[in-house]
């Protein structure tokens, strides 16, 4: 496999050096693996911290900034960050109003964030935690007890980030984050495997002419493999699975997310099919976001995430955000 890297051992550090060079609005601690908004801690504001294994960019470092995360902790590729990173991040963003940890449901992430919360509280930092577990593909998977955390992480970070930016207290920000997770569901499809720098090749086998329905963002197995399907057929399958589980009664936010290697041309074509499939099921779409946001290195494929919203959640979604990976408004 050809990769635009120096050596596998420095991939994450090299990427962090690149973030530091390109985004002066961030403080990027390459040695300690912490990304913090430069104006942190923001007086009177709850701090938001998330993190996870690298390879899912722009999640999470690309979502650090005004209106979203205050800090992110990148681990090695597909490997949880360590508690020291999380404690360092919490200390950097704590204004005295507390810190919310947003955790994708993977065993390593959960254990390390739990330990970090205890250590941070020992240092006098009030910490709340929210677990994201939106993937309806499987109940348990590799690295996971319960449903995996995937695309809804973006919705949680953006909406909770907007609430924090408005000055909401920690209990309110935590409650909103939990609500967004409860109202969100995701499903992903792989057209090709991903390749990690350390392995230098595919992490799993996917025969030519087949696709994986319900794949995880680390290449974990899904529900089943089938012969290649059309965009129309994939949208019908994915939408049906998500809608059956979510049973939305309100309009939804829709994320049509690329897994890393699928071009925007294909994603917008797939988005058209997803809108069609939702319309046929009488599900109204309030907002749509299309692009590569929660990725799996160079995997070809896509996922969809739906989040039911009321007027308040939609207002928070529309609130200004300014990060490397997501920005709109003032």
Catalytic residues: 56, 218
List b or e across 67-104, with b for residues whose CB sees 16 or more CB atoms inside 10 angstroms: bbbbbbbbbbbbbbbbbbbbbbbbbbbbeebbbbbbbb
What does the DSSP 8-state code read for residue 10? G
Reported in sequence order, the residue ranges of 69-227 that DSSP labels E, i.e. its strands, are 71-77, 99-104, 127-132, 184-190, 195-196, 201-202, 210-213, 224-227
Cα(177)–Cα(174) distance, integer angstroms? 5
Q: Which residues contact 71 (CB under 8 A, 6 or more apart)?
A: 34, 35, 36, 37, 40, 47, 48, 49, 64, 89, 90, 92, 93
Q: Give the residue among 76, 77, 257 at the shortest CA–CA distance from 154.
A: 257
Query: What is the distance between the alpha carbons of residues 148 and 131, in angstroms, rounded to a whole number?
Result: 10
Give 21-51 as a DSSP string: HH-TTEEEETTTTEEEETTPSPTT--EEEEE
């Amino acid at each position: 496999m050809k990769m635009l890297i120096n050596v596998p051992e420095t991939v994450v550090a090299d990427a962090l050096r690149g973030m530091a060079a390109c985004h002066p609005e961030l403080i990027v601690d390459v040695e300690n693996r912490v990304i913090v908004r430069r104006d942190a801690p923001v007086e009177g504001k709850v701090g938001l911290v998330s993190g996870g294994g690298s390879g899912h960019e722009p999640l999470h470092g690309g979502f650090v900034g005004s209106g979203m995360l205050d800090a992110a902790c990148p681990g090695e590729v597909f490997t949880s960050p360590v508690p020291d990173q999380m404690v360092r991040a919490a200390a950097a963003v704590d204004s005295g109003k507390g810190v919310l940890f947003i955790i994708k449901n993977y065993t390593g992430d959960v254990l390390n964030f739990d330990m970090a919360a205890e250590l941070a509280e020992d240092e006098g930092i009030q910490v709340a935690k929210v677990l994201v577990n939106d993937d309806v593909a499987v109940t348990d998977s590799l690295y996971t007890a319960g449903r995996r955390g995937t695309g809804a992480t973006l919705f949680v970070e953006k909406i909770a980030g907007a609430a924090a930016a408005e000055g909401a207290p920690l209990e309110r920000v935590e409650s909103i984050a939990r609500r967004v997770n409860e109202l969100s569901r995701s499903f992903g499809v792989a057209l090709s495997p991903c390749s990690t720098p350390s392995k230098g090749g595919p992490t799993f086998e996917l025969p030519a002419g087949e696709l994986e329905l319900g794949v995880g963002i680390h290449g974990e197995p899904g529900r089943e493999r089938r012969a290649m399907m059309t965009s129309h057929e994939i949208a019908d399958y994915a939408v049906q699975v998500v809608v059956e589980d979510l049973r939305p009664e309100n309009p939804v936010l829709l994320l049509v997310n690329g897994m890393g290697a699928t071009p925007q041309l294909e994603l917008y074509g797939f988005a058209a099919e997803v809108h069609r499939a939702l319309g046929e099921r009488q599900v109204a779409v309030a907002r749509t976001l299309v692009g590569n946001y929660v990725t799996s290195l160079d995997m070809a494929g896509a996922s969809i995430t739906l989040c039911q919203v009321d007027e308040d959640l939609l207002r928070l979604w529309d609130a200004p955000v300014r990060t490397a990976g997501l920005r709109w408004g003032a």
